Structure 1
């Protein structure tokens, strides 16, 4: 059985305990913790961005040059190859310094002669399994539909900052299933 620590926090105050200590304490009560899955991403460099402008890249047919408000009065120029990126969207931006799953480090780069100060992300690039992604976002970036503002942290918004605890429940502990 899998339990989200974000869900658990709604019922029990566990903020003062590390996830590993929590797993050890639960195991001592007689319910064995099989495994602990740490958060997918916990980064202050992963934020909500607002695409203020999106134009065709001057030196590439399949790339776009986007001006993205990343909050706090900062605008980043980002080169994006997604076909569904457009002006007026709220998107997930990995700013330089972010580390995505697979130890993929985001840094400032030049793409076809234009500076890119980050990356507009798809859910797959953030480590979300494809079976959990709506069809409209499987082949491009994720466009945030919720009421958000540029600069807010994206990991909590997508629940990517959640640790998961896996329990190994034995047949005699059916009480733990409820």
Structure 2
């Protein structure tokens, strides 16, 4: 009887140890995969008080491992009441990342306007546009998903995988899994 009990306990111990053999310790996704997800969300058009029409389009994503942030650049089109033409410009932002358990997604967190360039606009109006663009960036990008984990990725052999940390690399993002 003692031998059977010892055998059962040994098998349980082995089963517990081997289940971790199948559990990955990280997932990675590339800048191209994030770009594909981001492309689906644009263009974004916003009108402010009938005075300014702002369109964000053509997002471009790059990693910045040294600052632990992503860099995003957008082309913009601006129409302001009183102008007879649409102004073309660009906006650059940086953002950190966060894993949202409920959404099972890596999302943008704390997007920050870094630079806006508008050709042909007086500096006073450009400052107003900067403020509106910063608000738009915060509104539209805070919490936006750039990668959604599938059910197969979050559950392997009946085990739930919980991300522990995110690392921004030259190639993309690596999500480290709790052991």
TM-score interval for Structure 1 and Structure 2 normalised by the shorter chain: under 0.3
Higher relative contact order (CA 8 A, sep 6+): 1
- Which protein is richer in strand relative to its size? 2
- For the pair shown, the structure with the greater C-alpha radius of gyration is 2
- Which protein is richer in helix relative to its size? 2
TM-score in terms of structure 1 length:
0.21
